[in-house]
Amino acid sequence: MLESGVTSKGQTTLPKPVRDALSVRPGDRVRYLIHDGEVRIVPVRPVSRLFGVLAHDGPAATLDDMERAIGDAASAP
């Protein structure tokens, strides 16, 4: 179990194991979710950090490919 203090301004420091578990770095943001008297802390991921997350080793899809796929999905039962 990890603990940290709260300052008179309501600030606290996330312990290093928590920062590591959330993969947050200085300047990152976190979101607090409150439910049934408990709080969850989750990282806010900017879109820029998503670059390269999905691996694709084939050719890039063209706009025509995308429009065809959308049309196929829309007409599927």
Position 55: which residue type?
A: A
What does the pLDDT profile of the chain (77 residues) look like in tens digits? Answer: 999 999 999 999 999 999 999 999 999 999 999 999 999 999 998 777 777 778 888 888 899 999 999 999 988 87
Domain boundaries, the chain: 1-48
- Mark residue 71 as left, alpha or beta (left: phi above 0; alpha: psi -120 to 50; beta: remaining): alpha
**Helix or strand holding residue 67 (H, E):** helix 63-75
- Where does 1-48 sit in CATH, by number? 2.10.260.10
Distance (Å, whole) CA 73 – CA 77:
9
pTM score: 0.58
Please check whether residue 49 is in contact with residue 29, taking contact to mean a CB–CB distance below 8 angstroms.
no
Residue 15 structure tokens: 């312990």
Residue 36 structure tokens: 């049934």
